[in-house]
A = this chain, B = another copy of it.
């Protein structure tokens, strides 16, 4: 490959540890990998487009982190252990400082999770990044969306709402008066932590799981629709950070952020009563909260101080104006 492609190849091939199960990495027509026995392979693909998922002015390290974290989050939601990632990236020009920053953050997160870049394609075009991640999950232990049952508790990891507040700050539609809070929330928008460990700990315990990428209401909705169930959410139980509370200046608004904030990459999962004790053991040290219960109603009901409330809330749809 002549010219500047060599440069790109150098950036994408020289920064990572090698896994034993990668027989042949980048540089041939295909990568060759050796899958483990007794596991299924979990596979997920996410595309990030400049102008749709991030601003052209976004820091390349933030873009890289977000791209990989959002994909790892899908593995987490399945209870899978990360293994391999492929990248298709188009960019308008070869920009060395941009590449250095992008690759630095990408491989930092990849190496944290022992996931190896096994190949991809770099082309000229509008900035777009598509990752396909693969991981392993023992046969019969994958966390799917379809097995939530009446009475199961509904849980989320971490806190919710910060990513949406961060987006408001990036787009300048709403700001906190405190610069450090703006900074923290903006960082949380780009730099979420995929809940890989929590996902693997939930194997055999959770009846259903999903990662929160479109907002809690929308994503819990996917579980309910696949499980043919409904839910009651106690909005007072929604886990909210001090920063979000300060930003929103009101409990109600903070809770509405928590219910609709996309790109959180926390897990939402359901657990039958009989696994309650096991849950506490398995998630010891991981922040998580019980926020409600699965019902047979077929829809989501929000409770606030024991009473039903009717808030106008929606998920996120790329082809809707927003």
Report which A residues bind B (CB closer than 8 A).
1-5, 23-24, 27-35, 37, 40-53, 74-75, 77-78, 80, 84, 86-90, 93-94, 118-126, 128, 130, 132, 135, 137, 139, 142, 144-146, 209-211, 214, 218, 222, 226, 314-315, 317-320
Contact = CB atoms under 8 A, between A and B. Distances in A.
7 contacts: A1-B214, A30-B43, A30-B142, A31-B42, A32-B40, A44-B86, A45-B86
A32 B78 contact: yes
- What 8 pairs across the A-B complex have the smallest Cβ distances? A49-B125, A88-B130, A130-B130, A47-B88, A30-B42, A29-B77, A35-B35, A132-B132
Contacts of A319: 3-5, 93-94, 124
B32 A137 contact: yes
Contacts of A90: 47, 49, 52, 128
A111 to B, nearest CB: 20
A147 to B, nearest CB: 11
B30 A132 contact: no
Nearest to A118: B43
Contacts of A211: 29
B28 A145 contact: yes
A50 B49 CA distance: 14
Question: Which of A119, A125, A146, A320 is most buried by chain B, counting CB atoms within 10 A of its CB?
Answer: A125
B2 A52 contact: no
A47 B2 contact: no
A96 to B, nearest CB: 12
Given A24-B144, A47-B122, A124-B319, 11 more contacts: A1-B218, A1-B317, A2-B314, A2-B320, A3-B319, A27-B145, A29-B75, A32-B78, A48-B123, A52-B124, A122-B318
Given A40-B34, A130-B121, A137-B32, A45 B3 contact: no
Contact of A121 (B42, B46, B122): B46
